[in-house]
Chain A
Amino acid sequence: MTRASLMTFLKLAGFAVVVGLAVQLYRAKTAAEAQRAHIEALHRDIASERRALTALRAEEAYQERPARLRELASERLGMQPIQAYQLRALPHDGAVSGAPAGGEAEAQEHAP
């Protein structure tokens, strides 16, 4: 191979390498752009889901507002706020402790 043809080959090879690198760079750039668009879409989705979650939490708080729960518990289940005489402390052994005689009597007095 003459010197001139060697130079021509090297030039062509160099040109091919440059073209190849440019193509790869373009593909990488395009892929990165696609990923970026995907990430942005995900961010939009997250923001949208977050908004929906907040709206649902507000809806949940509205549905579980104490006035409504009290009304439902009273009307549908016949429940009333707990009274002191209905409470007994449970010791560690699980046995129900009885109130002293006087306390028991007083508790019975206030039972409806």
Chain B
Amino acid sequence: MTHDPGDPPPGPQDAVWAVWSGVRDPYRPPPAAPARAFALESDPVFTRSRITALIAVFVLIFAALGGRAAQVVLTRDPAPPQLARETPAPAAQRADIVDRNGQLLAATITAYTAYADARQVWDPDATAAALAAVIPALDRDQLAGRLASKRAYVPIRRGLTPRQMQAVFDLGLAGVAFEEEARRVYPLGPLAAHVLGYVDYSGRGVRGVERAFDGAIRAQGGANEPVKLTLDLRIQFALEAELAAVASEFQAKGGAGVVIDARSGEVLALASWPAFDPNEPGDADEASAVNRAEQAYEMGSTFKPFTVAMALDSGAVGADAVIDVATPLPVADRLIRDAHPLDGVQTLADVLAHSSNIGVAKLALALPPDVQRSFLANLGLLEPVALGPDNLLLSRPQAPRTWEPITAATVAYGHGVAVSPIQLAAAFGAIANDGVLVAPTLAPRAPGSEPARRRAMTADTAHTVLGMLRRVVTDGTGTRADAPGYGVAGKTGTAEVPIPGGYAKDRRVSSFAAVFPVWEPRYALLVLLEEPQGVAETGGEASAAVTAAPSVGRLVDRIAPILGVEPRFEAAAPVMAALPVRQASAKAPD
């Protein structure tokens, strides 16, 4: 485009247009030869490009601002970052643990950690004194020293309750603050401690149910659903109280107890003494840390009912058989004797009632050793058993590799094979359950689900042995286990403790295994004492007959009403009448 000389001269408003359009002002003299840089600045093409670029930059900026404005208006803001105090700790995701009736056994509560920014503490001594007055467990001098260190974070005390936190807060101390934390608590203290176990500082289950059910506890914690166990808190308390009483009375090294519903296999109570407080697991000493309910023991005479059942079940003898137990029985290089020698021949019922080693050894020797081994294996006494997932309370029995005649003879009266209290109670449950063994469990059976079960003996055998066990309580070594009205049937067991090279004559394991009520047996239980000491009241004796047996009687007295067992004072008579007594014409199996 050119400028016609006839037109009016362009005004100032046209200057921009001229520059924009690249027309040079015709009235302005041409510039002198410029320097190169100046030439670039004044180049209209270059200037136009700069303006274009500037406009583009502004357009982009405004587009970005508009876009962000539209985003802010039209879209949801991202969630604000969670404050540290609102972030649940791992333990907060753990579900509560409750018993079969919904009674709380373990829970996760919010606790507080008191800490100090020592740089803001005015007077370390006064602050430490004030804190120690509210939290007596604090070491005042040590805390004062740490507060004088001028560090930014000085932990004062973990696990404060809301009440303790408020008390510290009310002191109004400069520099003292709190952090929330999730804390696993066991409100019943030592009750069921060995079953429940505990968690570590990170909230991970390390023992007992807390470890074995860790997956379920975490999963159900998110859904706020408690994890239910088969335990009955009332039965558990009665068992632990009775176990503690008898173990203390006889100054036992330890003890264990178990109560099982023989029909479902559900463990109603499981105890080990001495107990510990799972709220402070670090304070547990060596004796209380051991769970004796899962430990293997040579049980002694509580094995004899299984030997009798085996002999009956295999057809080697009938229920009316009698055995000559008058003289000691030589087997291999040993002589098997009775602690209290009996006269002449005895019925099977009397062999059990008076706990004759000779009698049951003869029964075992009347059969091939493999029969005994497979019979005991069928009762779950030779294989590991666990009460829940992840090998919870895993019991590992100890059995000989080879099953020689001497092995069969000693195993017949409970030496040579070591099993846990859980296993023995479950095997007695098979006698109560018409000969059917139900696997014990701590996890409730789902409605409609069938527990793992297998037949360990015929129903007739189970009924016959049950009657004999009742006779043990009415006429034999277990009379102190009687709980009038509740039909207790059971067997004493006093075993010497194995040591390298033999058995310790002065160290014993005394136990009593029982089922009740005998007219409709449903519950199996066991009380075991490790190395009880004789007392004056028992004439210095510490056998199962005077230690564990009375304890079982008292326990049944306490738990039978809770379990809804209706007392009967005449119902045991028909069971007893069906038992043969001293039929001398029968042939002894020797």
Interface, chain A (partner B; CB < 8 A): 22, 25-26, 29, 32-33, 36, 44, 50-51, 54-55, 57-62, 65-67, 70, 81-85, 87, 89, 99-100, 102-104, 106-107, 109-110
Contact = CB atoms under 8 A, between A and B. Distances in A.
B561 A87 contact: yes
A58 B187 contact: yes
Most buried by B among A89, A109, A110: A110
B569 A106 contact: yes
Contacts of B567: 84-85, 87
Given A58-B107, A84-B486, A99-B569, 8 more contacts: A57-B96, A58-B187, A66-B237, A70-B237, A81-B558, A81-B561, A84-B560, A85-B484
Interface in B80-113: 86, 96, 103-105, 107-110
B389 interface: no
Contacts of A70: 237, 241
B561 A58 contact: no
A25 B74 contact: yes
Interface in B48-92: 73-74, 76-77, 86
B84 to A, nearest CB: 14
A84 B187 contact: no
Of A36, A58, A104, chain B has the most CB atoms within 10 Å of the CB of A58
Nearest to B236: A66
Nearest to B485: A84
A25 B224 contact: no
B187 A61 contact: yes
For chain B, the bracket of interface size reads 35 or more
A62 to B, nearest CB: 4
B557 A58 contact: no
Given A58-B104, A107-B484, A89 B566 contact: yes
Contacts of A44: 86
B110 A107 contact: no
B234 interface: yes
Contact of B110 (A22, A55, A62): A55
25 contacts: A25-B73, A26-B73, A29-B74, A44-B86, A54-B107, A54-B109, A55-B109, A57-B107, A58-B104, A61-B103, A61-B107, A65-B188, A66-B233, A66-B237, A67-B241, A81-B558, A84-B483, A84-B485, A84-B486, A84-B567, A85-B485, A100-B569, A100-B570, A103-B569, A104-B569
B74 A65 contact: no
A102 B569 CA distance: 8
Nearest to A55: B109
A54 B108 contact: yes
B451 to A, nearest CB: 28
Contacts of B26: none
A59 B557 CA distance: 30
B448 to A, nearest CB: 30
Contacts of A58: 104, 107, 109, 185, 187
B159 interface: no
A29 B224 CA distance: 33
A109 B569 CA distance: 12
B484 A106 contact: yes
A110 B484 contact: yes
Contacts of B483: 84
Q: Which of B76, B109, B241 has the most CB of A within 10 A?
A: B109
B73 A103 contact: no
Interface in B101-129: 103-105, 107-110
B15 to A, nearest CB: 31
Given A25-B74, A107-B485, A51 B188 contact: no
A103 B189 CA distance: 41
A36 to B, nearest CB: 8
Interface string B466-508: 0000000000000000011110000000000000000000000
Contact of B237 (A33, A67, A110): A67
Contact of B96 (A51, A54, A67, A82): A54
B162 interface: yes
Contacts of A83: 557
B291 to A, nearest CB: 21
Contacts of B108: 54
B568 interface: yes
A66 B96 contact: no
B229 interface: no
